[in-house]
Structure 1
């Protein structure tokens, strides 16, 4: 089995109260000063981070390997180092059953926040594998409907046990279960509330204008 993704020494976190991304070394959001104590080391989001790796990043890599070898192997392994926590929030949003508009709004907010931070975490090995580096993937999810739809389908397919993928991909996949009542998680519930609040505020401004 392929080893799981590698964590960065630092962590990117998303504040559930303002949806801003930051490199956070303390327990307070640097953008809105809200507490982040229930954001750091949230177990559900650790699992969402793993789902991002197995459901999408590793799958896309192995699909290219299978195509390269005409399904005969041997298959090269590639290590992925994702914007772990960022994509974990997006996975949580998809798995919780949020509307596509809400998920797209969240992704757009995250991408704009990452742009402002000017953080580069693209990994040379990922680039060589032909898979979109993290920043490019985040940008595509925010701006390209086809990439977004493919991404959601991969997550849904993972939740179904990947019934139609190549056996090699399924053998290399670790399936992580999420609770059915995701919205009972304090962190995800707060994210939903913030998204709804900001989306409603945006609609109100458009109506006024």
Structure 2
């Protein structure tokens, strides 16, 4: 293993230790042996509509946009960057055709584990089940938090997005951002020009 790839695994395990501080050497080795390294260029497709999501990606570097079709038009669904797990949830867990599309928006490097090998690790290393549960809880909480943003107008959602996820600032294209917010690019420009401070003290938001 090259020093560069070794560093990738150090990044991933440091993140996982937030949810489960101790990893047996056997489990760490099983994860390392099961993972592959992927490098994507800008606009490369990680997963297309109708394909089965066969990998769980861990983003080392880069930016990925999740997309979906609504009323015949493609929309931005969410954004993934460094330290994020990237999957199409229903497709990966059930191994069915995806309704989502995953596209690299920057040069992106990921560690990725195939679904079959992940299932084997769950079966052979019971300690990994706790890690999986903790990760599921963590991402469910984030999804629930984002779901509450629907109660705010576009300017409020804009503010909440970059307050909760500052690593995304200045990296999302105007086209993707306006698509995610459900507004035109012209209105996005208006929001940027007239941002006010009324959302600065919204309680319960993660900084």
Greater percentage in helix:
1
Greater percentage in strand:
2
State the TM-score, normalized to the length of structure 2.
0.28
State the TM-score, normalized to the length of structure 1.
0.28
Largest Rg, 1 or 2: 2
Higher relative contact order (Cα pairs below 8 Å, separated by 6+ residues): 1
